[in-house]
Chains A and B, each alone.
Chain A
Amino acid sequence: MKKRVFLDGLLYGIMALSLCGVIAVLGYILVYIFRQAAGSLSFGFIFRSAREGGILPMVVTTLYVVVVSIAISLPVGIGTAVFLTEYSGNSSLVRILRVAIETLAGIPSIIYGLFGLLMFCRFLGFGQSIIAGAFTLSIMILPVIIRTTEEALKSVPVSFREGSLSLGTTKSQTIFHVVLPSALGGIVTSAILAIGRVVGESAPVLLTVGLSRNIPRTVFESGRTLTIHLYYLTNEAVNPDDFGIAFATAGTLVMVVVAINTLTKILTRKFKNSQGDAS
């Protein structure tokens, strides 16, 4: 009996230790990057051009890529989620669609990069440009948006739909005026998650958007996102300043990620609360 108590305690200790270890590693990564970045990370750093040791062009390029890819992907993703929750019976199209979405979610990003390079840069003739990268990433984030939006739509009570339909509205009216507004919180969350993916993505961006250090004027120009800037600086660092800039860039990226995480947390909580009121 004593042996078992000892063994249980030992196992408990090991498990607790491993979880603490994982969280400690996360803490170490954050603290390490922010401490090293502290010297060079500032507002000026974010809003200075690359020649002056800032990252303004990268911020602009990243914003461009985010805005364009979300603008493409969000309507398609919401439309697909609406089809899956509101219209689909058990047709073969739905089964194919589900397998397709699962598969898309599992494809590694570098393969999206290869596809984007072939399809958008070469076949459609966009060359290495923001628009090519945005198209590529918009396909990549489609599964994220579809899944999260579907969850949000599913959590809209059936009684809302019945209430609307029983008043003699059409299905599409019910969807646009009752179902989608009620699922707004979840849809916004899905968009934010997708933004996180786009900001953090690197391999497909390297292949499709390129490395240009200029501030892009249109989406048909090449550019360099924050992630690619970090990769470029670390892999091909020439002067010692580059590591400082790299740390500051990494710090910026981590800040964006933390902000996005916090935002989704808040939104999810708020969204859950408002759902609680409705039922």
Chain B
Amino acid sequence: MNRKYADRFFQYFFRMVSLVSVLALGAILIFVFAQGLMPFVGATAPGIRLVVQNIGELAVNGRVYRNVPDSISLEEDARFISLRFPSGDAGEEVVDIEVNADERDARKRLVFARNPSAKVSYPEAYVVTLGWPGLMAGRDRKIHIILPEPPYSPVEFIGGMQWQPVRDKVFGVFPMIAGTVLASLGAIFLGVPVALLCALFMAEFLADRPAAFARGAIELLAGIPSVVYGFFGLMVIVPAVKNVFGIAAGNTLLSAVVVLALMILPTVITIAESSMRAVSLSLKEASLSLGASKMQTAWHITLFHAHSGVIAGIILGISRAVGETMAVILVAGNSPQLVFSPLESVRTLTATIAMEMGYASGRHSEMLFSIGVVLFIMILALNSLILRLRRGMDVV
């Protein structure tokens, strides 16, 4: 009877295989959210980290360590740090540092004593560098003291106007959220009317063969990779915007809007057209028999009865525009600033992730995942809206 066992096996096999989608979605949610929420729940490290060279002796809270590595992570309760360098050409150097953990201002948290010749500098927020001029060039000594960054406030993240991830460690994404929303809405305002005109025309006025041709063209439009759209935008639309408005650079919100509008056309047209085609013929015939013209029937009956599908198409178009990355990077200019005019450079959430992930580290990298979370929440909200509309469509 091994046929029977084989049958049983495959039944479980197919069930297990189909779980992959559920597990994948779960993993995506857990991983992205866990990483993205990290900056808001904890500090970057439990205690101070030191990066030093040729250190002889380290004393923390009076306890002495020898043979310490170049990079040292201290305990959270480290109060008094004393570093001793071996005596060399410049004589023995001793640095005493007192940590004032309650001080909120990072620059005042450390109090230095007994380092007469050292220069204190602050190359980045939360990083202090002590340097001694060496006797020869290239022999100067340096200590980098990396302070733990406290948990970031979600309000400052969402509402913050500044994005200075490297130097100042300021992560305000409001300009990017505004950029994403403006670019998507702009694309919708520009693209949807054209898309609806096309869809209605294809569904109501075109014969089968031309309609099939138009549909083929629109499928091709949907298949063109987004990088190619971006490239085309950079080569054609950006210079056009620059020349028409006489501005210094054409990489603007307007260029992004035009490219995105082009990219959402196929999505909106396809969904709107199929829902228009689903409107029953008897409704249209009823309207025609009442003496309405074909055009009036199309606008009043077909468009009206297909409205939930049309809205679903528009929302799907918005979510495409919100999630679009590469095309926008190439044409939008990418300055993380709040825009007040369509002729200014703008940066979206997605562009920030794709451009900075390559070199980001530490909290900066985590913050890019936090941007991913913001994006994710926007998309999930749009998706649930579509699901609700679909359910409504099934009832009708």
Contact = CB atoms under 8 A, between A and B. Distances in A.
- Indicate whether A and B are direct neighbours in the complex (CB within 8 Å): yes
B228 A115 contact: no
Given A8-B295, A203-B325, A84 B18 contact: yes
B144 to A, nearest CB: 25
B322 interface: yes
B97 interface: no
Contact of A21 (B194, B295, B358): B194
B28 A115 contact: yes
Interface stretch (B6-14, B121-129, B165-173): B6-14
Contacts, number: 241
A118 interface: yes
Most buried by B among A25, A32, A87, A172: A172
Most buried by A among B214, B322, B325: B325
Q: Is the interface of B mostly helix, strand, loop or mixed?
A: helix
A100 B379 contact: no
Q: Is the interface of A mostly helix, strand, loop or mixed?
A: helix
B224 A200 contact: yes
A70 interface: no
Contact of B228 (A103, A142, A253): A253
Contacts of A257: 220, 223-225
A26 B221 contact: yes
Given A15-B200, A103-B25, A170-B6, A109 B325 contact: yes
Interface residues of B, number: 81
B14 A12 contact: no
A167 B175 CA distance: 67
A80 B18 contact: yes
B322 A100 contact: no
Most buried by A among B197, B231, B324: B231
A32 B226 CA distance: 16
B194 to A, nearest CB: 5
A16 B375 CA distance: 37
Given A23-B214, A96-B22, A261-B216, A11 B295 contact: yes
Interface residues of A, number: 84
A260 interface: yes
Interface string A100-111: 111110111111
A129 interface: no
Given A115-B31, A139-B24, A250 B201 contact: no
B205 interface: yes
Interface stretch (A40-48, A215-223, A227-235): A227-235
Interface string A141-158: 011001000000000000
B235 to A, nearest CB: 8
A278 interface: no
Contact of A108 (B3, B27, B221, B324): B324
Contacts of B380: 103, 106
B353 interface: yes
B31 A119 contact: yes
Interface string A1-22: 0001101100110111011011
Contacts of B270: none
B230 A234 contact: yes
A119 B369 CA distance: 13
Nearest to A230: B227
B214 A19 contact: yes
A97 B18 CA distance: 8
Contacts of A4: 293, 296
B262 interface: yes
Nearest to B22: A100
Given A83-B14, A170-B3, A112 B223 contact: no
Contacts of A7: 295
Contact of B10 (A21, A97, A175, A230): A175
Contacts of A207: 354, 357
Given A29-B224, A114-B372, A250 B231 contact: yes
B176 interface: no
Contact of A171 (B11, B18, B350): B11
18 contacts: A7-B295, A11-B295, A16-B205, A19-B197, A82-B14, A100-B21, A106-B379, A110-B375, A114-B357, A118-B31, A139-B28, A142-B24, A171-B10, A200-B225, A230-B227, A230-B231, A246-B231, A250-B231
Given A12-B295, A109-B325, 10 more contacts: A15-B200, A16-B205, A19-B197, A76-B17, A109-B323, A118-B35, A142-B20, A142-B24, A196-B223, A235-B329
